[in-house]
Structure 1
Amino acid sequence: MNKITPFLWFDTNAEAAADFYLSVFPGGRKLDELRAGEAGPGPKGSLVVISIEIEGQQVTFLNGGPSNKLSDAFSFSVRCENQEEIDKYWAKLTEGGSETACGWLKDKFGVSWQIVPKDITRLVSNPGGMKAMMTMKKLDIAALEKAGAQAK
């Protein structure tokens, strides 16, 4: 297990979120879970905490109730090898969610994601690339390349 891991607070759907992410990122796996016993919290047998691993990153989810909400202040960044990979993750993670801007999206559980090319820094390090990115929702590598080349 990683020494430091993201720990996300869900209302009651942490298990559904974990199952969804394991379907989006093949090769992921469930690491551990804690279910409520006689002493609670929650109904006996209900999920309290679940830890999964996706793309080598351990993530833990808590069914903590409605008092704390997920926000854009935390996001997962997925560095993609090519446009096909961007398209694949974008399609899966926006299903039931929403597109935001500049490669950001919010999935159906309210978790924010950045789906970006592996070399995003290079692609937007000039005014042309940055300006092009600012007009996009899902990032288009070819358009970013072209905008960067035209700005030189």
Structure 2
Amino acid sequence: MTRLIPHLWYSAEAEEAARFYVSVIPDSRIDHVSTLPVETPSGPAGSVTIVEFTLAGQPVTGFTGGPLDPFNHAISLMIECDTQEDIDRIWDALLDGGTPEECGWLRDRWGVSWQIAPRRLMEMIRGDDRAAAARTAEAMRGMVKLDLAALERAFAG
């Protein structure tokens, strides 16, 4: 079986980040933590921490490998939520020490980009009623944290 496992390179604190994420996102857990027993370009034996964890049922690997390239918007992790309460809870937790951005995006304290969105959003945007989809997308563009009720109102016209 072939699997896709996102791999996140942290300059520091990969284990701390993973433990924080699994405390915030349902259906998440730490699966394994280890260190590389050999010297690497990132440092001596034992200096690279590898964290295998599950986020919302999806396997992810993070590792502390020292500074290389910072995280950027070229890739983000999207969490789909069923309720505004879930959006608020996850947004507020991930935003602690981070930076809010428009359209439901934020950067957490480690620099990882997240999209916290209602599950219903993509249904509205890709629906057959293109005018409703445009109203929804335009409403989203004016938001920082997404507001499910306001998006539904925009979709309904």
Q: TM-score, normalised by structure 2?
A: 0.85
2:139 aligned with 1:132, yes or no? yes
Change (3 A) 1:25 1:2: farther
C-alpha displacement of 1:8:
0.7
Structure 2 equivalent of residue 52 of structure 1: 53
1:131-150 superposed matches below 5 A: 131-150=138-157
Q: What are the Cα deviations for residues 71-129 of structure 1, in whole angstroms up to 9, with x where unaligned?
A: 11111111100111111111001010011111111111111111111111233352211
C-alpha displacement of 1:26:
4.5
C-alpha displacement of 1:6:
0.1
2:86 aligned with 1:85, yes or no? yes
2:123 aligned with 1:122, yes or no? yes
Q: Structure 1: which 5+ residue stretches go unaligned?
A: none
Structure 2 equivalent of residue 13 of structure 1: 13
C-alpha displacement of 1:34:
2.3
Structure 1 equivalent of residue 129 of structure 2: none
CA distance in 2, matches of 1:114, 1:130: 15
| Sequence identity (%) | 40
Number of residue pairs aligned between Structure 1 and Structure 2: 149
Q: What are the Cα deviations for residues 23-57 of structure 1, in whole angstroms up to 9, with x where unaligned?
A: 112442221222143x3343554442111012111
Structure 2 equivalent of residue 65 of structure 1: 66
2:119 aligned with 1:112, yes or no? no
Contact persistence 1:105–1:113 (CA under 8 A): yes
The range that moved more, 41-50 or 133-142, is: 41-50
Give the structure with the higher percent helix. 2
- Alpha carbon RMSD of aligned pairs, Å? 1.9
Change (3 A) 1:149 1:77: same
Change (3 A) 1:4 1:124: closer
